[in-house]
Amino acid sequence: MMTSSAINESAEIFSKSTTQLSLKDVYKVYAGRHGWPDKLLRRTSPDYIALAEINLDIVANQFVSIIGPSGCGKSTLLNIIAGLDQPTQGAVLLNGQPVKAPGPDRGVVFQHYSLMPWMTVEENIRFAIETVFPTMTRAEQIDQVRQYIELVGLQSASKRHPHELSGGMKQRVGIARALAIEPQMLLMDEPFGALDALTRGFLQDEVARIWEQQRKTVILITHSIDEALLLSDKIIMMSRGPAAKIVEVLDIPFPRPRRRENLAQFSSYAELRAELELHLSRETRAVEESRI
């Protein structure tokens, strides 16, 4: 029979093995300008509290979306998770270890592609692989590049340069590059925001397909309720800033694989959609009114 301490211990091991990323009471304050040169030049500004009291646990292999009004601090939060920015206060733990800098355990995809313009598709992906796996042989690298180009369906464009690609293709290169370093987690900041609606829908389906294959943890920032409902296990709703917080985390129970045309048949769909719409419109209205 298990003693209660053994049960507690196993419960702890269980929670450690499932919680991959943990944010504990994270705050981000952007320092204003209040030094004497600013005072002399009459251009002082106060500190800006972007994020406040962010507590979040993300379980491995889940697809999590973050939704919130423009300017609320979504990119700030993702950059902190990526290690590109530091919280002013609080802790960010990946597998229990503090995040201090970017690392190959987190692949990042930005809205604006950030591909090397002088490199072909293959070279862009290989460059990331070389950086992360310096001991890989050339043949292994080439094989890895090929696998990830196939994963995103870009075989026919592998020798092209970024300027010869459509926005959707560039973003597929970005996704292939982020996944080719075999991260534990994929972080995406409005990856489809610059694409037209049709391409966007196509890439959402691609991301859903790739996620079914790989089941990596994904954190996706999006403005799109439909995108979040199609892809996510959980949707994190953020309030407007300053001092933006997580106001609610919605569980999205629809079975997978999902098809956008079937989602409306699930009983909770209408309610979840309405809740997200109400939240976004209320927060966005408040942001707009505060500007007047």
Spatial distance between the Cα atoms of 113 and 168, rounded to a whole number of angstroms: 10
CA-nearest of 52, 91, 56, 5 to 236 is 56
Determine if 202 is a binding residue for ligand ADP (CB under 6 A). no
User: Which of 20, 65, 76, 171 touches ligand ADP by CB under 6 A?
Assistant: 76
Which CB, 79 or 120, lies closer to Mg ion? 79
- Smallest gap from Cβ 122 to ligand ADP, in A, equals 32
Which CB, 124 or 224, lies closer to Mg ion? 224
- 3-state class of 216 per DSSP? coil
Spatial distance between the Cα atoms of 201 and 174, rounded to a whole number of angstroms: 17
Determine if 241 is a binding residue for ligand ADP (CB under 6 A). yes
Spatial distance between the Cα atoms of 269 and 174, rounded to a whole number of angstroms: 31
* Number of residues this chain uses to bind Mg ion (CB under 5 A): 1
Determine if 239 is a binding residue for ligand ADP (CB under 6 A). no
- Smallest gap from Cβ 30 to ligand ADP, in A, equals 3
User: Which of 20, 26, 73, 237 touches ligand ADP by CB under 6 A?
Assistant: 73
Determine if 72 is a binding residue for ligand ADP (CB under 6 A). yes
Spatial distance between the Cα atoms of 254 and 226, rounded to a whole number of angstroms: 13
Q: Which stretch binds ligand ADP (CB under 6 A): 63-71, 104-112, 115-123, 153-161?
A: 63-71
- 3-state class of 272 per DSSP? helix
Spatial distance between the Cα atoms of 161 and 170, rounded to a whole number of angstroms: 9
CA-nearest of 80, 84, 82 to 54 is 80
Determine if 30 is a binding residue for ligand ADP (CB under 6 A). yes
Spatial distance between the Cα atoms of 150 and 146, rounded to a whole number of angstroms: 6
- 3-state class of 224 per DSSP? coil
User: Which of 15, 70, 147, 268 touches ligand ADP by CB under 6 A?
Assistant: 70
Which CB, 68 or 183, lies closer to ligand ADP? 68
Spatial distance between the Cα atoms of 23 and 147, rounded to a whole number of angstroms: 33
User: Which of 65, 66, 67, 75 touches Mg ion by CB under 5 A?
Assistant: 75
208 to 267, contacts with Mg ion by CB under 5 A? none
Q: Which stretch binds ligand ADP (CB under 6 A): 73-81, 169-177, 226-234, 261-269?
A: 73-81
Residue 127 binds: one of Mg ion, ligand ADP, none (C-beta under 5 to 8 A by kind)? none
Which CB, 75 or 239, lies closer to Mg ion? 75
The CA distances from residue 145 to 128, 135, 187, in Å, are 10, 15, 20
Spatial distance between the Cα atoms of 119 and 124, rounded to a whole number of angstroms: 6
Contacts to ligand ADP by CB under 6 A? 30, 48, 50, 68, 70-76, 241
